[in-house]
Structure 1
Amino acid sequence: MKTAVLASGVIALGLIGAAGGYLVGDLTQPTSASANNEYPTGGDSPPDVPLPKKTAEPYPKTPLSAAKLRYHTENFTIRDKSGAQVPLSIRAPRGWQLTRDPKAPQEVKFLDPLKERGIRVESALPESLTTSDSMQRLIAGLESSQPYENDLKILSQDEQIEIEGTSRTAATLIYTYIPKKTLRYVIVAWVSTRGDDLATVEMSITGLPQDATALKALLAEATKSVTVRDY
């Protein structure tokens, strides 16, 4: 059985379903009606006004080092939404803990010792999307779900990447946002492992801006190694 797989970052999935919030850049200035306290009658309330953008607090810890990352193969099994088992293999950093939530059998997480960086691997929905379409869907979800004050910024989006000469088709999105106090740096990659342009794996890697070089190295290792083992 061939099952598409979603490997989603520590926070990326939660962003899609986040409640409330304005599109980034929307409603930054009051309308003329609201500025003059002129609102429609009939019990309508004044429109919500977004909070100002957050200012990220510095993170004093040592940045993640790409040179110090050592990888090993992790084999594990998750369940898709139908309950079927999906056996996976991926090369993850040594010392990063594989964790499971009994309430979420469709996913596993790999977390660094500080729990500041991580990867999430999750079973995908049954529909087949191209790597590019998958990326555009996430961008739309982020922009519709993230409150203005979280300062979402799309840093780059590439529709094709090449990892050390491999022929896998992949799309990559990099963005930052401030969910609480620190600025988070997120890389999401959609990879086709079957030689076509349909995304079978999505990998999200989350950390801090100062970790960018190491996170990109981790992305490269994960992209070329991730495998659905019953293919």
Structure 2
Amino acid sequence: MLTPRHQALLATLAGMTVGVAVFGTVLAINRDNGDNTAAHVVTTPSQTPSTPGPTDGLQAASLQYVAQTFGTKQSPVTAEVPAGWVSSQAGTRPRFLDPTGVWQIRFDTRGSKQAPDAMVDARANSIDEQDLTVISRTDGTLVYTYTDKVRGPRMGMSRWIAAEGGRRSAIEITVGGRPQDQDALKAVLEHATDTLQLPPQDTGDSADPRPN
């Protein structure tokens, strides 16, 4: 016969056994129900910018254009440049910059008494920049790269539009950016060339303001 002390001890052990069993059952149920937090962590992917920034390549397809008029009242010049690119000056040598300052297009409407190919050679020999590399110099257009001390690798394309049967240059158009922008820079240059509207050319040599 069990004494009251033995009966109390057995009751305590039985209670502990039931408690352990219940705890194990609850733990198993929680696992089945997906309460394991580590297994259900959801990571939200970062958002990708929808428009190119200064660290991305300029995309020609994303550009829209607006007409700009510059030069002088007597000899106005019109050409289309990318929308949002603005110039801090008008006159004969405007330069239109995008808001980030990475890309630009500039014009020199004074022209020159030299032919476009001669201007290409003169510019190629006068550029004083680090790591200058001339990529091409054909059809009055100079394409080159160099390294800017502040902005790093840069690319330029300069084009001279022929006048008077190719004996002179009517206007210079230059676009600038980075090597990864090459296709878009070419598109900007071609669009400016195609939409260019020049005043009638004065074939006289007297009081000609154009540089040699």
TM above 0.5, yes or no, is yes
1:95 to 78, 84, 108: 84
AA aligned opposite 2:149: K
Residues 1:124 and 2:110 are matched in the alignment: yes
Aligned residue for 1:64? 58
The separation in 1 between residues aligned to 2:61 and 2:123, in whole angstroms, is 31
The separation in 2 between residues aligned to 1:65 and 1:110, in whole angstroms, is 17
Residues 193 and 226 of structure 1: is their aligned pair in 2 closer, same or farther, counting only changes over 3 Å?
farther
SS in structure 1 of the partner of residue 193 of structure 2: helix
Task: Give the deviation of 1:230 after TM superposition.
Answer: 4.9
Aligned residue for 1:111? 97
Q: Where do 5+ consecutive residues of structure 2 fail to align?
A: 1-52, 202-212
Conservation of the 8 A alpha-carbon contact between 1:75 and 1:90: yes
Flag the structure with larger Rg. 2
> Normalising to structure 2: TM-score of the pair?
0.63
The separation in 2 between residues aligned to 1:185 and 1:99, in whole angstroms, is 22
Question: What is the correspondence of 1:105-184 to structure 2 with a 5 Å cutoff?
Answer: 106-124=92-110, 127-142=112-127, 145-146=128-129, 150-158=130-138, 160=139, 171-181=140-150, 182-184=152-154
Aligned residue for 2:158? 188
AA aligned opposite 1:107: R
SS in structure 1 of the partner of residue 102 of structure 2: coil
SS in structure 2 of the partner of residue 151 of structure 1: strand
Aligned residue for 1:45? none
AA aligned opposite 1:121: F
Report the number of matched residues: 148
Conservation of the 8 A alpha-carbon contact between 2:116 and 2:166: no
AA aligned opposite 1:90: A
Conservation of the 8 A alpha-carbon contact between 2:93 and 2:107: yes
Conservation of the 8 A alpha-carbon contact between 2:141 and 2:157: yes
Task: Give the deviation of 1:62 after TM superposition.
Answer: 1.5
Task: Give the deviation of 1:193 after TM superposition.
Answer: 4.9
Aligned residue for 2:69? 75
The separation in 2 between residues aligned to 1:75 and 1:60, in whole angstroms, is 27
Q: Where has structure 1 moved over 4 Å in runs of 4 or more?
A: none
Conservation of the 8 A alpha-carbon contact between 1:76 and 1:87: yes
Aligned residue for 1:221? 191
Residues 230 and 66 of structure 1: is their aligned pair in 2 closer, same or farther, counting only changes over 3 Å?
same
The separation in 2 between residues aligned to 1:60 and 1:120, in whole angstroms, is 19
The separation in 2 between residues aligned to 1:201 and 1:123, in whole angstroms, is 5
Which structure's residues are more often helix, by fraction?
2
